[in-house]
Chain A
Amino acid sequence: MGLLDMLKRRKVEGTEDLDNTMYLTLREERRISRENRKIMKQYEREKNRKNVPEEEYLTQMRDPSNVVEFDNLHTYFFTDLGTVKSVNGVTFDIPQGKIVGVVGESGCGKSVTSLSLMQLVQAPQGQIVEGSIRYQDINGKCYEITKMPRDKMLEIRGKEISMIFQEPMTSLNPVFKIGEQMDEVVLLHTKGATSESAKARSIEMLNLVGIADVEKVYNSYPHELSGGMRQRVMIAMALSCDPRLIIADEPTTALDVTIQAQILELLRDVKDKINGSIMLITHDLGVIAEMADYVVVMYAGRIIEQGTVREIFHNPKHPYTIGLMKSKPSGDTKDNRLYSIRGQVPNPINMPDYCYFCNRCDYAMNVCWKEYPDIVEFSESHSAACHLYYGEGLEEQKKRRVEVENNGN
């Protein structure tokens, strides 16, 4: 590759195509990182305060039957290339005893939403900038997670809200035995627990998740177990303190279909046994259809559609949801082409102020390039953010439909 060729970098034919890759000068990068440091310092100072009075983080739920309510949550990452708005105004509830499924492509902010709830967002770059997350514990006390001091959060995290991570291979500590890792959770969160009672509890939990040779697993290291077994151990660990809410972040993505079926069955069983709720994060629509009661579809940091599982699967409204459903190959698909959503998720830095999906949308209209759509409600639980269903966009749709009909005649 000669030097001349390198200089031609931008002059190959057809360069006028859409190209949203950003190149920053060093000076710009320095300026951004200086500003970021200032912002991050401010947030960190707020978080590091000691002896925060309880009134500051006590709050009221909108609906007392919910375990968790996300309200207009914004989580940003301040990177040297600019601010990434990973979660950009997310509002949804997790009712008691239900499974809420969160679907979306990678990078759409579904994991960051759950990490915000656990106060586990990578700090100091990642900060909850705006909005609130309310959590109600078993006694009906409501906490505002975003304002909660770290030491108080320790009492909730892992005990009342626990998490099952995507990769069972990397989320267990390789240098400790399974038993030691499980006992630690119990010892930390249960008052007056002894090592014997902790062991009894761990073994009870391992039994609950259907592990056959409990004593042997208890005394083995993570590398001695298969992927499915490790995921079972993760689930047992998450359950060991009777959590009110389990966050399952892609619990079956790394597993085979046969093992996936086992794990999903187990999660459903376990939910009924402890009467908890599950927030199930996945990109597999099949898993959602099978498991969830409510579905939240996210795209580029925002919720574009939410509703009960029947509403979403039988009557999807947002073009992205419709596209996702159609792009999954199934037995019914004829030998013609598979539907695919063209293009890809836009660059997360410098998101436009119009609909994020309009460059990939089949129905895109002029109004879509002007402003971000409002949320349209189709029923009490079903809503979508799309121009197709109100105001200017609806008018244009009607016009188009008339045109199509006229052409047909």
Chain B
Amino acid sequence: MAIEMMEYANNSDNILEVYNLKKYYPISKFVLGKSRSYVKAVDDVSFSIKRGTTMGLVGESGCGKTTVGRTILRLHEVTDGKVFFEGRDLSKIPPARLRKMRPQMQMIFQDPYSSLSPRMPIGEIIGEAVKEHKIVPKSEYRAYILKVMRDCGLQPHFYYRYPHEFSGGQRQRISIARAVALKPKFIICDEPLSALDVSIQAQIINLMKDLQEQYGYTYLFISHDLSVVEYLSDTIGVMYLGSMMEMGDKKKIFANPMHPYTKALLSAVPVSNPDVKMNRIILEGDIPSPVNPPSGCKFRTRCPNAMPICAEKAPVFKEYEENHKVACHLYSQD
């Protein structure tokens, strides 16, 4: 037991530490009996986030980035692994205690059209959890909600309006206000911008940055838009088929992408300049099924640099320079 504790030594700079997180979904092939196969949505992912910084999590759809976010908050139960939030292991906390901790960890969802209850006015949507968790005394409740709304760029007279009266951008502001109203420390943003137009995206990005500066939030920013992730994040993790492929400082990843998948992802982003012709690495085919991932390195079926060893052995996720980890055989043979 003592050894285990040593292994998960917590760094007080980190608000969140994730060790070997696994989330498997069983597929029942038979009516009776245990299922034989699993969808390995998240397979052995470890990372940590420093207080007050933003970590970006990128990858194609189906790579498990949303599942990571949800499993951290225990919206799905963890299959294996440890999640430490502020030094406490979230997977061991009993439900009643977890409920008390919920205000500290909030989530902003992808689709602002389906994540707001159509039957509640805005004030109530933002305030419901504030009341439940008694964030502020009853006498200050209304003033507090109006202050949160003002912080998020919502006008006070929206208080009694219903979600259907708002555009996508405004709704996303409401979702942000709902998360922020609980005075959280850590917010998971699950593709908060993908349903919005470019000009509105910029507004929401600025809002999120302002709030972070003002209140010191820590974000886990899940997105498939690399330009947004580059702009917002301090560290970046690149996921593929449930595993972390590359992780490190934003600058290091963008200046020196090491994993072939990261290289391909970066080169696939269209550039807003008609004169720049990108040397594009086009990946063949689609992401394989997570039920039977390829043996060895999961990326080898689409990798332009695949070698024989890639099929035999899974590469180790190792640090090659300071704050820059890669899982690839290209760098391990020496």
User: A-side interface residues toward B, CB under 8 Å?
Assistant: 1, 5-6, 8-10, 12-15, 17, 19, 21, 105-106, 212, 226-229, 256-262, 264-265, 283-290, 309-310, 313-314, 323-325, 327-331, 333, 337-342, 344-345
Question: How far in angstroms is the closest Cβ of chain A from B219?
Answer: 15
A21 contact set on B, CB distance < 8 A:
165
Q: Is B136 at the interface (CB under 8 A from chain A)?
A: no
> Chain B residues near A338 (CB, 8 Å)?
202, 205-206, 209, 231
Quick check: A257 and B226 within 8 Å, CB to CB? yes
Q: Does B268 contact A (CB under 8 A)?
A: yes
Give CA–CA (A19, B159) in the complex, Å: 14
Cβ B271 vs Cβ A286 within 8 A? yes
Q: Are A344 and B169 in contact (CB under 8 A)?
A: yes
CB–CB A258/B265 < 8 A? yes
User: Chain B residue with minimal CB distance to A310?
Assistant: B274
- Indicate if the CB atoms of A13 and B156 lie closer than 8 Å: yes
26 residue pairs from A and B, CB less than 8 Å apart: A8-B160, A9-B160, A10-B157, A12-B157, A19-B155, A227-B61, A256-B224, A258-B60, A258-B265, A260-B270, A265-B280, A265-B282, A289-B274, A290-B271, A314-B275, A324-B199, A327-B201, A328-B227, A329-B230, A329-B232, A333-B231, A338-B206, A338-B209, A339-B202, A340-B203, A341-B199
When chains A and B are docked, how far (Å) is the Cα of A47 from the Cα of B197? 36
Task: Give the chain A neighbours of B274 by CB distance below 8 A.
Answer: 289-290, 309-310, 313-314
Our pick among B121, B199, B269 for the contact of A1 (Cβ within 8 Å) is B121
B19 within 8 A of A: no
Chain B's interface: helix, strand, loop or mixed, by majority? helix
Query: Once the chains bind, are B206 and A261 in contact (CB under 8 Å)?
Result: no
Q: Are A313 and B272 in contact (CB under 8 A)?
A: yes
Contacts of A256 in B (CB 8 A): 60-61, 224
In the bound assembly, the distance between CA atoms of A328 and B201 in angstroms comes to 8
Smallest CB-CB separation from B286: which chain A residue?
A226
Given contacts A258-B60, A283-B197, A327-B202, contact A289 B273 (CB under 8 A): yes
- Once the chains bind, are B198 and A286 in contact (CB under 8 Å)? no
- Output the least CB separation between B303 and chain A (Å): 12
How distant is B140 from chain A, measured CB to nearest CB, in Å? Answer: 16
Within 8 A of A (CB), among B183-229: 197-203, 205-206, 209, 224, 226-228
- Looking at B197, B206, B227, B283, which has the most chain A CB atoms within 10 Å of its CB? B197
Q: Which residues on the B side are within 8 Å of A344 (C-beta)?
A: 167, 169-170, 200
Contact B230 A328 (CB under 8 A): no
Q: Which B residues touch A285, using CB under 8 A?
A: 198, 272
Q: Is the CB of B227 within 8 A of A329?
A: yes
Within 8 A of A (CB), among B277-308: 278, 280, 282-283, 285-287
Inside 8 A of A328's CB, which chain B residues have their CB?
Answer: 198, 202, 227, 272
Report the 6 A-B pairs with minimum CB-CB distance, sorted nearest first. Answer: A286-B270, A329-B231, A340-B202, A327-B202, A261-B268, A105-B197
Among residues of B, the one whose C-beta sits closest to the C-beta of A266 is B282
**B264 in contact (CB, < 8 A):** yes
Check A289/B270 contact, CB under 8 A, given A1-B124, A12-B156, A331-B230: yes
By the criterion CB–CB under 8 Å, are B271 and A262 in contact? no
Residues of A within 8 A of B224 (CB): 256-257
Given contacts A1-B124, A9-B160, A17-B157, contact A329 B205 (CB under 8 A): yes
Write the nearest CB–CB distance from A298 to chain B, whole angstroms.
12
B209's partner among A15, A323, A337 (CB-CB below 8 A) is A337
Q: Verify if B254 is at the interface (C-beta below 8 Å from A).
A: yes
* Chain B residues whose CB sits within 8 angstroms of the CB of A329 once the complex forms: 202, 205, 227-228, 230-232
| Chain B residues whose CB sits within 8 angstroms of the CB of A284 once the complex forms | 198, 270
Q: Are B227 and A330 in contact (CB under 8 A)?
A: yes
Closest A residue to B267 using CB positions = A261
B150-187 interface bits toward A, Cβ cutoff 8 Å, 1 = contact, 0 = none: 00000111011000010111100000000000000000
B265 touches A257 (CB 8 A): yes
Inter-chain contacts of B269 with A (CB < 8 A): 257, 286
Q: Give CA–CA (A290, B269) in the complex, Å.
A: 10
Find out whether the CB atom of B286 lies under 8 angstroms from the CB atom of A229: yes
Chain B residues with CB below 8 A from A290, complex form: 270-271, 274, 278
| B160, A5: Cβ atoms closer than 8 Å | yes
Inter-chain contact A342/B280, CB cutoff 8 Å: no
For B271, the closest partner residue in chain A by CB is: A286
Q: Other than A337-B209, A341-B202, A344-B170, give 7 A-B pairs with Cβ distance below 8 A.
A: A6-B160, A106-B168, A226-B286, A258-B282, A261-B267, A330-B272, A338-B206
| Alpha-carbon distance between A9 and B121 when the two chains are bound, in angstroms | 11
Taking A17-B157, A257-B224, A331-B230 as contacts, is the C-beta distance between A342 and B271 under 8 angstroms?
no
Indicate which residue in A106, A264, A310, A337 contacts B275 across the interface (CB closer than 8 Å).
A310
Taking the closest CB of chain A, its distance from the CB of B21, in whole angstroms, is 23
In angstroms, Cα B232 to Cα A338, docked, is 10
Asked if B156 and A261 sit within 8 Å, CB to CB, the answer is no
Query: Shortest beta-carbon distance, B64 to chain A, in Å?
Result: 14
Q: Which residues of A contact B267 (CB under 8 A)?
A: 261
Task: Give Cα A262–Cα B60 distance, bound, in whole angstroms.
Answer: 14
Find the A residue at minimum CB distance from B207: A340
Q: Which of B156, B159, B273, B282 has the most CB of A within 10 A?
A: B273
Q: How far is the CA of A9 from the CA of B269 in the complex (A)?
A: 46
State the CA gap A284–B196 with chains docked (Å): 11
Task: List residues of chain B with CB within 8 A of the CB of A264.
Answer: 270
Q: Are A262 and B198 CB-contacts (below 8 A) given A289-B272, A338-B206?
A: no
Choice from A6, A262, A342 contacting B283 with Cβ under 8 Å: A262
Q: Note all chain A residues with C-beta closer than 8 A to B270.
A: 260, 264, 284, 286-287, 289-290
Q: How near does chain B come to A21, taking the closest CB pair, in angstroms?
A: 6
Distance between Cα atoms of A261 and B284 in the complex (Å) = 10
Q: Report chain B residues within 8 Å CB of A283.
A: 197-198
CA distance A287 to B227 in the complex (A): 14
Measured between alpha carbons, how far is A178 from B198 in the docked complex, in Å?
A: 34
Given contacts A256-B224, A262-B283, A290-B271, contact A323 B199 (CB under 8 A): yes
Chain A residue numbers with a CB within 8 Å of B155 are 14, 17, 19
Q: How far is the CA of A142 from the CA of B26 in the complex (A)?
A: 60
Q: Which residues of B contact A265 (CB under 8 A)?
A: 280, 282
Contact string against A for B residues 128-140, beta-carbon threshold 8 Å, 1 for contact and 0 otherwise: 0000000000000
Residues of B close to A288: CB separation below 8 A:
272
Q: Complex: how many Å from CA A328 to CA B230?
A: 12
Q: Which of B54-73 contact A (CB under 8 A)?
A: 60-61
B199 and A313: CB pair below 8 A?
A: no
Shortest Cβ distance from A134 into chain B, in angstroms? 28
